[in-house]
Structure formats: structure tokens, C-alpha cells
């Protein structure tokens, strides 16, 4: 039986090359086509020596495949995806171009008008822990952002159970790879080393999908979310801490309540292969290279607030690994296929 043929649009960015790394040993599919404008004509292993076993030449356009990953930047990805959808090729889009259900969100958050708003209804938000059944039958899956993956997974059980007030604060810290492979002043070594900074205080564009997905879990009262991202001097990882006051009449604000909260989270994620609810705060290093999200929920007994911490690798569960998790579901493969390797430590 022939394996499905897989292609990667823009395999030379950090997410694209991470896709290639994970797909090169995937037993259920065959990576047959990769593109990259700046390195077209070169062997993939010439540009990335750790992928020398992949006998692939970087092309300017995608060959015929059964499923394509688009790792293009937002605004540019839609132009690659739309023709593939018309050809009835299945697509996992790793950009933000199909994540929002409301087309009006794109001028507001991404500074462009969506070229195919009719596809926004068709696209499935690719967080398997919330939308597994829809993903399995989808032609177009919008892979979540790295920040939203950590934030939504951290808060989904509490929001759905209605145990917190709608005012939520999310604090996230990420490594430099989240900024992509293109050069910029803020990610130069001398600028970022021994430094930490907050940015997008007026509203990071990933906030739109965080609000969208948490609102779908509990529309009323609508969540009022403050999200502040931070850049820290490491290569990979996102550490997210969410805060919200516990709702009156719900979980008791005592040690018994802390135990109830932990059990609520464990029940919510009981059958999830890539979420681990842990009894101690996780580290980003615990996730390096693995398609895993660690979550630690607790209660600040002084203030009556939920405090929940999540950790993931922004290039794996936050991008390429989750995209392959979605691919597995779309192709009818076991969800964990090709993603079972543990994290690299230390």
C-alpha cells in the first residue's frame, strides 16, 4: 500500500525544517516535496545537514501531494492554500490565515483583508484536544498559534467548568525561535542575550484566537482577557501562567479545593496523549523537542485565584508537532504516530 505523499511549503523556516525533521522518520507517510524561495535548487541536506538523509531538492513550487503543510508567514499563506483547496488537496496551514472565524478580525489583528472569507467557515481550528472529531473529517485545518496552544490548554478546563470569573490574565514567555528565521534587530544575540522584555502590550495578534476558542467553551459571560507576551533569551519553549479569580460557590478556596482543581484538570485531559497534568510547576526544558504540553493548576489560597502554568516547545506542540498530530487525524492514522519520542534533556 502506497503511503500518502506529503509536501511542505516553505521548508526552510524554523517551523518548516522542524516539520521535515519529524516527518523524515514518520512510518505512515512519505515526504516527497519541499519548497523554499531563498534555497531553491539546493538539496535539503545541503541547507540543513541534520536532514542529509532526506534525498529532497528544495523546489520553487509544490509537486502533487495528498496533504500539504503551509509554513508561510501570515498574509502570504492564504495565496498558497487557496489553490490547493480548489484542487481538493488536504492542507494544514500553520500560519494565522485561517484561524479566525470572523473575517473582520483580519484587518484588525493582521492588517489585511482576507482573500477567501468563505473558507474561514470550512477551516477547522486544529487543537485536537478541543476539536478532534472535526479535524478528522477536515480538508483544511488551521494550526493554532504557539502562544494560544499553551494558553488555551491551560485555561480550557477551568473556563468550561465555569469555576473562574471572566477576567483572565495570561502571562507568556517565549524563546527566540518564535520570531522566525529571518533576521531582525531584536533577535540578534547581543540584543537578546541577558535580556528579557514584554511586547505587544496593546494586544498581541494571538489574543484573537485565544478569545475565540475560550468563548466557544463558555460564551457567557464573555471572557475579558489581558495577554502579555515576553521574550526571554532561550531558543525554544513557551512558559504560560494564567490567573483568574475563582467564581463564588464553586471550588472551595482551601487545600481540598486545590485537590479538586487538580482532579478536574486530570479528568478533562484523561485520554489526551500529548497533555500531562502535573503536580509541580513544569519547565520549558521538560518539553524540548517533544509534542507535549505540561500543565500545573493550583489555587492562591490568600487571594482566591486560580494560577495555572503550562509549558511546551513552541516549534513542536506549538507548531510542527501539532501540525503532524492534525495530519495523523486527517489521514486516519494513529494520532501519536511519529510523535512518540520523549523530550531532549538537559
Catalytic residues: 146
In a domain, 342, yes or no: no
In a domain, 343, yes or no: no
CATH code (residue 192): 3.30.360.10
Residues 164 and 218 in one domain: yes
Distances from the Cα of 3 to the Cα of 12, 26, 30, 92, 221, angstroms: 24, 10, 6, 18, 47
In tens digits, the chain (346 residues) has pLDDT values of 799 999 999 999 999 999 999 999 999 999 999 999 889 999 999 999 999 999 999 999 999 999 999 999 999 999 999 999 999 999 999 999 999 999 999 999 999 999 999 999 999 999 999 999 999 999 999 999 999 999 999 999 999 999 999 999 999 999 999 999 887 898 889 999 999 999 999 999 999 999 999 999 999 999 999 999 999 999 999 999 999 999 999 999 999 999 999 999 999 999 999 999 999 999 999 999 999 999 999 999 999 999 999 999 999 999 999 999 999 999 999 999 999 999 999 9
pTM above 0.75, yes or no: yes
Residues 99 and 136 in one domain: yes
pLDDT confidence of residue 222: 92
CATH code (residue 102): 3.40.50.720
pLDDT confidence of residue 141: 99
- List the domain range (segments joined by +) for residue 61: 5-144+318-330
In a domain, 337, yes or no: no
Residues 217 and 279 in one domain: yes
Residues 182 and 308 in one domain: yes
Residues 99 and 206 in one domain: no
Question: CA geometry: angle at 80 spanning 70 and 51, to 5°?
Answer: 35
Residues 134 and 249 in one domain: no
Q: In total, how many domains does the chain have?
A: 2
Amino acid at each position: 500500500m502506497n503511503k500518502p505523499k506529503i509536501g511542505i511549503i516553505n521548508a526552510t523556516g524554523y517551523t518548516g525544517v522542524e516539520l521535515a525533521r519529524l516527518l523524515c522518520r514518520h512510518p505512515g507517510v512519505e515526504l516527497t516535496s519541499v519548497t523554499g524561495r531563498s534555497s531553491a535548487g539546493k538539496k535539503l541536506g545541503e541547507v540543513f545537514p541534520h536532514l542529509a538523509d532526506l534525498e529532497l531538492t528544495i523546489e520553487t513550487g509544490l509537486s502533487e501531494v495528498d496533504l500539504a503543510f503551509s509554513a508561510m508567514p501570515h498574509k502570504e499563506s492564504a495565496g498558497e492554500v487557496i489553490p490547493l483547496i480548489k484542487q481538493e488537496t488536504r492542507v494544514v496551514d500553520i500560519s494565522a490565515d485561517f484561524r479566525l472565524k470572523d473575517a473582520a478580525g483580519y484587518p484588525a489583528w493582521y492588517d489585511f483583508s482576507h482573500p477567501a472569507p468563505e473558507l474561514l467557515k470550512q477551516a477547522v481550528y486544529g487543537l485536537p484536544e478541543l476539536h478532534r472529531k472535526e479535524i478528522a473529517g477536515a480538508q483544511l485545518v488551521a494550526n493554532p498559534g504557539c502562544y494560544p496552544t499553551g494558553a488555551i490548554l491551560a485555561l480550557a478546563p477551568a473556563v468550561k467548568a465555569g469555576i473562574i470569573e471572566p477576567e483572565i490574565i495570561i502571562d507568556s514567555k517565549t524563546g527566540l525561535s518564535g520570531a522566525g528565521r529571518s533576521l531582525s534587530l531584536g533577535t540578534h544575540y547581543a540584543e537578546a542575550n541577558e535580556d528579557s522584555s514584554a511586547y505587544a502590550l496593546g494586544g498581541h495578534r494571538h489574543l484573537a484566537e485565544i478569545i475565540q476558542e475560550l468563548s466557544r467553551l463558555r460564551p457567557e459571560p464573555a471572557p475579558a482577557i489581558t495577554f502579555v507576551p515576553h521574550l526571554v533569551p532561550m531558543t525554544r519553549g513557551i512558559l504560560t501562567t494564567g490567573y483568574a479569580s475563582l467564581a463564588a460557590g464553586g471550588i472551595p478556596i482551601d487545600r481540598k479545593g486545590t485537590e479538586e482543581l487538580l482532579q478536574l484538570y486530570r479528568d478533562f485531559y484523561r485520554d489526551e496523549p500529548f497533555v500531562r497534568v502535573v503536580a509541580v510547576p513544569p519547565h520549558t526544558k521538560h518539553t524540548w523537542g517533544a509534542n507535549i504540553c505540561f500543565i500545573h493548576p493550583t489555587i492562591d489560597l490568600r487571594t482566591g485565584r486560580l494560577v495555572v502554568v503550562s509549558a511546551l516547545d513552541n516549534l513542536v506542540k506549538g507548531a510542527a508537532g501539532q501540525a503532524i498530530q492534525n495530519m495523523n487525524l486527517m489521514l486516519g492514522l494513529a494520532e501519536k504516530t511519529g510523535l512518540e519520542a520523549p523530550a531532549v534533556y538537559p
